[in-house]
Amino acid sequence: MRMAGKGVVITGATGIAAASARRLQRQGADLFVISRDENELEALAADLEGVGSHVGWAPADLTVEQDAEEGFARASEHLGRIDGVLAVAGASGRRFGDGPADEMSLDAWQKTIAINLSPAFLATRQAIRVMRRGQGGSVVCIGSVLAEHPSPGFFATHAYAASKGAIASLVRATASYYARDRIRVNAIAPGLVMTPMAKRAADDPEIVGYANEKQPLAAGLLDPAAIADAAVFLLSDEASQITGQVLEVDGGWGVTEVGPS
């Protein structure tokens, strides 16, 4: 129960966000979830409340400043305090046309950046505003292994990679600036994880074969629970002296070559 008595806000309601909510609940955290899809919020809250924990939630488009402000205001009211924020919300930009830089429109670039970087910024900003008035806290953003370890053959989505690289820079800059306020800001850079966003990859036998080699510790796509475990650690007091870091939870992606050893 290392999160007992702590109020935590999670952005997103499926995949890594849902797995983290379950882990945090088991560790005693009081939860408030913010996401765009009300049906997903209701489903997650019902799942968590089925094991005896009341979870607050609010639908909000976290690319919209007013929505983010209202969502976090409701979170503060529900929890009474915000000790931790896990900023997961984001999405693939493929539907906008994200791809290789020379093939991408400015519109595709801007929409992909907005859907990934703006929610991380707004969640971090709102968290800091609340935490500066209290005793500090912990913010954890979700980046991607692709920001540091590209895969040009299967994941040539350059706007997505850039948005996740920018999250790492946001984390380091804010961690430095707000450390004296006892606010810690870190990121997790997952590898290829079995989430709704990864359905295209999970349904492609060639990509699955690639993941088997590229992520040998997972022997394929990562379980979202592995990311959740890292998130709980960084949000907890066990990580009280850690800030400005990007923790790669990638099953070995970043240190493994595909092909003959």
As annotated, the active-site residues are: 160
- Location of structure tokens 């850039």: 162
Other C-beta atoms closer than 10 Å to the C-beta of 176 total: 12
Q: Is the dihedral of CA 107, 91, 132, 166 positive or negative?
A: negative
Starting at the earlier edge strand, list the strands of the sheet with 246-249.
56-59, 30-35, 7-11, 84-87, 137-142, 183-190, 246-249
CA 14, 17, 19, 21 torsion-angle sign: negative
DSSP E strands, the chain: 7-11, 30-35, 56-59, 84-87, 137-142, 183-190, 246-249
Beta bridge partners of 85: 9, 139
Task: Name every residue whose Cβ is closer than 8 Å to that of residue 61 and which is 6 or more positions away in sequence.
Answer: 36, 67
Strand partners of residue 139: 85, 185
